[in-house]
Amino acid sequence: MSQESQPSRNEMRTFKEDELEELRKVYGMREAYKTWRKGSDPRENEKRLLSQLDFFPDGDKTRKCSILDVEIGNKLHIHEFEVENTEKTDRKHCRDMVIMHGYGAALGLFVRNFDGLSRVPGLKLHAIDMLGYGLSSRPKFPGTGFISSYVKRGDITVKEVNEAEDFFVDSLERWRQKRQLERFVLVAHSLGGYLGCCYALKYPERVEKLVLVSPVGVETSVFDLTRKHTDKHLHATELGPDVSKEMSADKSNPTTDNPVKTSSSFHVPDDSGNVERVPNLPKVFAFMWSCNISPFGILRTLGPMGALMSSRWSFRRFTHLKDPQDLFTFHDYFYSVFSGAGSGEYALTRILAPGVLARLPLLSRVPENLKCDSFWMYGSYDWMSKEAGQVIVRKINEKAAGVTADYSVVANAGHHLYLDNPSEFNRKVLNFLKLSS
């Protein structure tokens, strides 16, 4: 079955609570111990996941695919899954599409999009694991030593944020050079969306069009290092929403066709895109953030309990899958990703302040400087701020010279909208690019 002909999220069979409980019993502490004890081969798990595609690994009449480790210098590589549609086309634009994941994730999360997107004649997909994630190299992240994290703790500076951004942005550029891509469409999710904007600002001549999928770091706040703040702003803290939303709310909230009466967003900014009330976080959480303690680092130290906790997330996150074996395949893949050596994950506390607010927000630097058309996408019950997305689209259209920005919400979808409703996501992306499959 092709991606475009798959039923909608409401039509697809999902696991009921009693079925989820049965899966938890099947994958209990004993199975978690086995997973942890034997270790998990991420490359084999990736191949098992990609085998859900009809054209993997041998291709079909119109498509061929390959898995690559692209050397980018300094003994580092970027991991890539490439799908090329070999049908002839006279189209001169949108020939290469780069797909970039978000925080803690990897290219496999887009497995439900590869089929639909790759049906466009002449289109070549490049799904990559960002440096420090997935199956790409995992070098030591700058400023994560004991002295930096625990002894010399202090306020994050603009320089440190820029260094964290460049860890990903410059490695993406080195990958582009090795792959000899002149220009490409960049589709990027969450933290990847934020970094995709950073790349488009630093290397504007390389990005043909930009698709931001529920990007983090749009709204401004008291944490914006580019602005001066009054004492009133510095004390504008009230108890905010639960940070665990990204892990649970996407799937626990039922969806309906009725209008949404309240926002699902983690932060709701004002009309200018500024968040006036920032979370009053527990001291333990704030301390962990200031020490750059990664949630995946905690997961790794928990041994078999970490594998069990990962399974709980997987079983909730992928309840739309119809085959329990597919569910276990997703779990094995993502546990192997989560449990890899810590690297890119440590960028989070440099780029974002506690409460998931950017230190260098996109609203403070994108509207007047973006040099390509952009498309800002959110899920209907997305925890990321759709309101901030509307603000930045409006400001780009007001201030940017010669480019336009579009905004859209994908129905029956959360923060991982490309995964929750792949057919609508694919259709909207291709419509924006003026492509047809």
Instruction: Supply the range of the domain harboring residue 222.
Output: 51-255+262-294+342-432
Q: Who's near 351: CB < 8 A, 6+ residues apart?
A: 161, 164, 165, 191, 194, 217, 358, 359, 360
The 3-state DSSP class for residue 93 equals coil
Closest CA to 161 of 291, 348, 345: 348
Mean of the per-residue pLDDT values of the chain: 85
Q: Is residue 164 part of a domain?
A: yes
What are 113's two structure tokens?
Answer: 């999009």
* Catalytic residue chosen out of the listed positions 136, 137, 190, 385: 190
pLDDT tens sequence across 301-334: 888 888 888 887 777 777 777 677 888 888 889 8
Q: What is the pLDDT of residue 17?
A: 59
Tokens coding 48 = 């098992």
Q: What is the pLDDT of residue 396?
A: 98
CA distances from 4 to 48, 189, 424 (A): 22, 20, 8
Q: How far apart are CA 338 and CA 104, in angstroms?
A: 7
Are the C-beta atoms of residues 94 and 118 closer than 8 Å to each other? Answer: no
What tens digit of pLDDT does each residue of 362-406 get? Answer: 999 999 999 999 999 999 999 999 999 999 999 999 998 899 999
Is position 415 annotated as part of the catalytic site? Answer: yes
CA distance 385 to 382: 7
The tally of domains found in the chain comes to: 1
> Which pLDDT does position 242 carry in this prediction?
42
CATH label of the domain that carries residue 201? 3.40.50.1820
Residue 91 has what pLDDT?
92
Locate 28 and state its tokens: 């209990």
Please indicate, yes or no, if residue 6 is contained in any of the structural domains.
Answer: no
pTM for this prediction: 0.86
Task: Reduce the DSSP state of residue 183 to 3 states and report it.
Answer: coil
Tell me whether strands 76-85 and 124-128 are parallel, antiparallel or unpaired: antiparallel
DSSP string, 87-153: S-----S--EEEEE--TT--GGGGTTTHHHHTTSTT-EEEEEPPTTSTTS--PPPTT-SHIIIIIS-
Beta bridge mates, 78: 70
Say which residue the tokens 């590869």 belong to: 114
Residue 19 resides in a domain: no
Told to judge if 374 belongs to the known catalytic residues of this protein, a careful annotator would answer no
Rounded to whole angstroms, what are the CA distances from 112 to 55, 117, 320, 420?
13, 10, 12, 9
| Ranges under pLDDT 50 in the chain | 1-13, 146, 150-151, 230-261
Q: Give the ranges where 318-385 is alpha helix by DSSP (H).
A: 324-338, 348-351
Cα separation values, 367 from 182, 223, 326, 362, Å? 24, 19, 42, 8
Identify residue 79 by its one-letter amino acid code.
H
Which phi-psi region, left, alpha or beta, contains residue 334 (left: φ > 0; alpha: ψ -120 to 50)? alpha
Q: How far apart are CA 246 and CA 237, in angstroms?
A: 21
Flag whether 307 is in a domain.
Answer: no
Question: Taking phi first (over 0 means left), then psi (-120 to 50 degrees means alpha), and beta for anything else, what does residue 39 get?
Answer: left
In 129-205, the DSSP E strands lie at 184-189
Single out the residue of 185, 113, 170, 84 nearest to residue 435, CA to CA: 185
How far apart (Å, rounded) are the C-alpha atoms in residues 212 and 214? 6
- Residue 196 inside a domain? The answer is yes
3-class secondary-structure state, position 203? coil
Are β-strands 352-353 and 184-189 bridged in parallel, bridged antiparallel, or unpaired? unpaired
Catalytic pick among 336, 382, 416, 423: 382
Length of the chain measured in residues: 437
In the set 79, 101, 415, 416, the catalytic residue is 415
169 part of a folded domain: yes
Both tokens of 247, joined, read 């892990």
Q: Which residue is listed with tokens 């609570």? A: 17
Q: Say how far apart CA 140 and CA 344 lie, in whole Å.
A: 8
Tens-place pLDDT, residues 114-135: 999 999 999 999 999 999 999 9
Cβ atoms within 10 A of the Cβ of 205, count? 10
Q: How many CA atoms lie within 13 A of 94 on its CB side?
A: 19
pLDDT of residue 153: 59
Neighbours of 155 (CB within 10 A): 8
Residue 202 lies in a domain: yes
Instruction: Reply yes or no on whether 190 is catalytic.
Output: yes
32 in any annotated domain: no
Asked whether the beta carbons of 315 and 22 are under 8 A apart, the reply is: no
Cα–Cα distance measured from residue 215 to residue 201, given in angstroms and rounded to the nearest whole number: 15
Q: Phi-psi bin for 282: left (phi > 0), alpha (psi -120 to 50), beta?
A: beta
